[in-house]
Structure 1
Amino acid sequence: MASAQGVNVFRYSALVAGLVYGFYHQSSITSQAKRAEIDREYHRQEQLIQQAKAEWKKKTSPPEAKTADSGIITDPEDSRFDLEAFLKFKAGETN
């Protein structure tokens, strides 16, 4: 009789341990999924902000000062501005 009680105790202990493990495992999976969703949303918003900044910069920046004929950039604030080419262009323009 003691043997049957030991088996039942073991059985119910295993059942309770399985339920506790299942609950813990499910909660960890759920928290990982929530965290992944939060990260995806954060990166999406980050990309939207970068896109909005680029559009705002494009919208508010002055039009690029290029001459249609020569392709010389006349805006000194432009990173591709070439002073030598600009001066040669202006010297040829006055002749």
Structure 2
Amino acid sequence: MVSPAVNVVRYTALASGIVYGIVHRKTLQERFDKSAAEKEVQQRAHWLEEAKKAWEAQKLQGKSGVVTDPEAPNFDLEALLKSYEK
């Protein structure tokens, strides 16, 4: 037969472990959520910069009428070289 003092220690250790686990998981979840939010902000800032660059490129393309992006479907190397000669 186990003494009552040993049972108290056992159940106290069990309860302490459960409480520690809950608190620790909550702390880790808060860190993860904060990290995910920061990554989302950085991703949106990156998309914004890309959009600004694309907008500037589109504005420049509209002024000269020459497509300077070699991967664009309406890219014309001859027209680009002629625009550089001027």
* TM over 0.5, shorter chain: yes
Calculate the TM-score normalised by the size of structure 2.
Answer: 0.68
Larger fraction in helix: 2
Q: Percent identity?
A: 14
How many pairs are equivalent?
73
Whichever of the two has the greater Rg, that structure is: 1
Moved over 3 A (4+): none
Alignment partners' CA distance in 2, 1:82 and 1:50: 25
Aligned partner of 1:50 in structure 2 is 50
User: Which runs of 5 or more residues in structure 2 are unaligned?
Assistant: 79-86
Counterparts of 1:6-85 in structure 2, within 5 Å, are 6-61=6-61, 62-64=63-65, 79=70, 80-81=75-76, 83=78
Rounded to whole Å, the distance in 1 between the matches of 2:69 and 2:35 is 43
Q: Deviations over 1:16-49 (max 9, x none)?
A: 1111111111111111111111111111110000
TM-score (norm 1): 0.63
Q: Which runs of 5+ in 1 are unaligned?
A: 66-74, 84-95
Q: Quick one: higher RCO (CA 8 Å, sep 6+), 1 or 2? A: 2
